Amino acid sequence: MHRWQVLKVHFDEGQSIEQLEFLMLKPQKRRNILRSVIRDVRKSSRKRIQKEQGLSGQSWQARANGKKKKMLVKLKKHMQIRFGPNNAKVYFKGSKTGKIASAHQIGASLNATPTTNTGAQNKSGMATKRQAIALRNAGYKIPRNRGKGSKNPSLKWIQANLTQNQAGFILRELKGSSSKSKWQIDLPARSFLGESKKEFRDHQSFILNKAMQVA
């Protein structure tokens, strides 16, 4: 289980009387107050994912590949909350989901390696039109039937004479990526979980006002 504790009741000069009022409440009443706050924290965190904005209000860095597809949307449904009489938390159930969320929240440098999925590599069908176009664009050539030299094959020839495996291997060789065993992916920070400064102040005021009303 991977979690962040995003809310605590702090003592500070000028508010100690109100905070003492809160701590003097019955545990169930404190629990109810913190439940309202942590639900709001989760709601605002989900909203930031929807708007693709960080805790500072600044827009997230766009995808490196230029795609406009919404980011991190699957994390919204995995946000869980836990609350008690003295603290409350937003967390992600499951270590894998938690690690993914953490990497996006604070940024990370990840080491990537070529896929080892043999099922995806052992395709016995003939080369696709997409592969044929990619091979042509990469400069793939074949020997001429007569005489010396080489020529650009037609898309029809590639699809009729090369399997998907062969086309994939040749394409990787032409691009020089077949020998690359490891590379680094820099994941930019895209904060979403927690409280902005304004939200923190609002939640603190809510807690203390509720404490004074109930006391």
pLDDT of residue 25: 87
pLDDT of residue 8: 47
Output the pLDDT for position 36: 95
Do 11 and 85 share a domain, yes or no? Answer: yes
Helix axes 197-214, 16-23, angle to 10 degrees: 60
- Mean pLDDT estimate for the chain: 82
CA dihedral in degrees (157, 160, 165, 170; nearest 10)? -10
Q: pLDDT > 70: what percent of the chain?
A: 80
Together in a domain, 77 and 173: no
6 and 102 in one domain? yes
pLDDT tens string 91-121: 998 888 998 999 999 998 877 665 544 444 4
| 180 pLDDT more than 70 | no
pLDDT on residue 123:
58
Residues 39 and 74 in one domain: yes
| Domain enclosing residue 52, as ranges | 2-112+187-214
**At residue 165, what is the residue type?**
N
pLDDT at 5 (0 to 100): 41
Phi, then psi, of 24 in degrees rounded to 5: -85, -10
Give the number of other Cβ atoms within 10 Å of residue 187's Cβ.
Answer: 15
Claim to verify: residue 13 and residue 48 sit in the same structural domain: yes
Are residues 162 and 209 both part of a single domain? no
> Same structural domain for residues 176 and 192?
no
Please state, for a pLDDT cut of 90, what percent of the chain lies above it. 44
pLDDT at 11 over 60: no
Q: pTM of the entire structure?
A: 0.63
What are residue 8's DSSP bridge partners?
87
Q: Can you tell me the mean pLDDT for 175-187? A: 68
Looking at the structure, tell me whether residues 177 and 83 fall in a common domain. Answer: no
pLDDT at 189: 93
Question: Please, which residues bridge with residue 172 across strands?
Answer: none
Residue-level pLDDT at 79 = 94
What's the confidence (pLDDT) of residue 18? 64
Chain segment 33-63, per-residue pLDDT in tens:
999 999 999 999 999 999 999 999 999 999 8
91 & 177 share domain: no
Give the per-residue pLDDT at 125: 85
Better-scored residue on pLDDT, 161 or 124: 161
Asked whether residue 34 falls in the same domain as residue 56, the answer is: yes
- Do both 99 and 49 map to the same domain? yes
Is residue 182 predicted with pLDDT exceeding 60?
yes
Question: Do 95 and 34 fall into the same domain?
Answer: yes
Domains held by the chain: number:
2
